[in-house]
Structure 1
Amino acid sequence: MTTNSDFNRPQTTVVLAMSADGKISDVQSSPAGFGSPNDKAHLEQQVAEADAIIFGANTLRSGGTAMRVVNPELLKQRESLGKPPQPIQIVCSRGGNIDPELKFFEQPIPRWLLTTSTGASYWQEGSKFEKILVFDTPEGEIDWVTALEELKKLGLQHLGVLGGGQLIASLLEANLIDEFWLTVCPLIFGGTTAPTPVAGAGFSTEMAPRLELLSVKTIDQEVFLHYRLQRQ
């Protein structure tokens, strides 16, 4: 992950695995698990480099757990940098409707909730979440710009964004994504409703975010693509 001192917010890096036809899950939105051990090691490396991991409530509901750092070398790496063993896990949910019985709430990880006033009404700080961050727009959506500025003030320099498509779309629309790591896996999901890396209303050709390819790496049957967002 690279840094940019001009940003008054954390550096943001999306990390996703997708099928060869650009799907991040099948039509049943099954938990992501189709990547190889190489991809899982790559994901853990990116998680280990982050101060916090941010993901949408649907992504949490699908998998039920957080992506933790378990590799001893990566744990030592974090320790050498003065970081806690695990990055903060930040769930984003406008409505706050998250099952408190998910295994996620039993994991030994720091948990924050980023939500609206409506979503916060379902939770009390200190019960399941160590911190509840509330950022409302007048329309009742999450104010992403203010939210990320506050995360920077709280000491977070790097955010790993692990999906889903709606969260990534919201961050892209607000010009808050810096880099993408996309692993292309050798399978085809198909399906009109199968989720893709970026959901939302979409972008026209003229307005589509442009990417700069930083690196391409092939390991066995998977391709690891590293992009940086081009700033207009």
Structure 2
Amino acid sequence: MHVVVNAATSADGKLSSRRREQVAISGEADFDRVDRLRADSDAVVVGVGTVLADDPHLTVKDDALREQRRDAGEPANPARVVVDSTGRTPLDAAVLDDAATTYVCLTESAPVEQRLDLADRAELVTAGDERVDLLRAFAALQNQGLEQLMVEGGGELIFSLFDAGLVDELSVFVGPTIIGGRDAPTLADGDGFVADFPELELADIERLDNGVLLRWHVADEAET
């Protein structure tokens, strides 16, 4: 399995404002890049916080890219994965429509009623007791044939994936704006590291729109 984290941040590293509402950071060139990355992926992954804040559809927007997927024998859109420990995904969420298969990763402690309701609209992956065990969940997704995963946030999930050693690449578009705010979400929130920080190897720098795209490979632990 290959896991690519993709995000857009302000120049000061924020994903959004303290209100956790969508903020226009990227331009058209980056939107096109993200669409191509989705089209090249087997699944797009987000945390439930992103679903609740943005209600994303997580589908390929460009007709030509969807047609290329069909020509290759793939569904028009990649699968969608929501990491949702307690089953908070709204039943009318855009990611639960019929545009693509959706997997919801839950825990054993998720309420039965929510599990039953979500099972009517998505494939359920149960991994962990109180929090989703990402290693087990991603292993289950791989068993479903999902090898190339694109993670689109949010910061809590991204930190947890780095903490679990599951990230292979990180792509960040840094936009020309300042958001600020001690309570505004950052690229990697969660508990944070105090030692054994993940090491990144810079792979590419590209000017895009009025910002910059940075691509890193995550170094193997054995090499750091």
- Fold similarity call, TM over 0.5: yes
Alignment TM-score, normalising by the size of structure 2: 0.92
- Residue number in structure 2 paired with 1:127: 120
Q: How far is 1:107 from its partner?
A: 5.5
Is the counterpart of residue 115 in structure 1 residue 106 in structure 2?
Answer: yes
Q: How far is 1:114 from its partner?
A: 0.6
Q: Give the secondary structure class of the aligned counterpart of 2:125.
A: strand
How far apart, CA to CA, are the structure 2 residues paired with 1:43 and 1:127? 30
Q: How far is 1:126 from its partner?
A: 4.4
Query: Structure 1: 5+ residue runs without aligned partners?
Result: 1-9
Q: How far is 1:83 from its partner?
A: 1.2
Q: Please give the per-residue CA displacement for 1:87-145, whole angstroms capped at 9, x wherever unaligned.
A: 1111111111122233443462221111102226212264121x1000014xx221111
Q: How far is 1:38 from its partner?
A: 1.1
Is the counterpart of residue 186 in structure 1 residue 179 in structure 2?
Answer: no
Identity %: 27
Is the counterpart of residue 174 in structure 1 residue 164 in structure 2?
Answer: yes
User: Which deviates more, 73-82 or 21-30?
Assistant: 73-82
- Residue number in structure 2 paired with 1:224: 213
- Residue number in structure 2 paired with 1:35: 26
User: Which deviates more, 105-114 or 195-204?
Assistant: 105-114
Which of residues 40, 49, 63 is equivalent to 1:58?
49
Q: How far is 1:203 from its partner?
A: 1.1
The residue identity in structure 1 corresponding to 2:36 is Q
Alignment TM-score, normalising by the size of structure 1: 0.89
**Alpha-carbon distance change, 91 to 120 in structure 1, aligned in 2, over 3 angstroms:** farther
- Residue number in structure 2 paired with 1:19: 10
**8 A Cα contact 1:120 1:132, kept in partner:** no
Q: Please give the per-residue CA displacement for 1:175-201, whole angstroms capped at 9, x wherever unaligned.
A: 001101100000000000000010111
How far apart, CA to CA, are the structure 1 residues paired with 2:173 and 2:111? 34
1:46-125 alignment runs, 5 A limit: 46-106=37-97, 108-119=99-110, 121=112, 122-124=114-116
- Residue number in structure 2 paired with 1:5: none
Q: Give the secondary structure class of the aligned counterpart of 1:227.
A: strand
How far apart, CA to CA, are the structure 2 residues paired with 1:50 and 1:72? 16
**8 A Cα contact 1:54 1:91, kept in partner:** yes
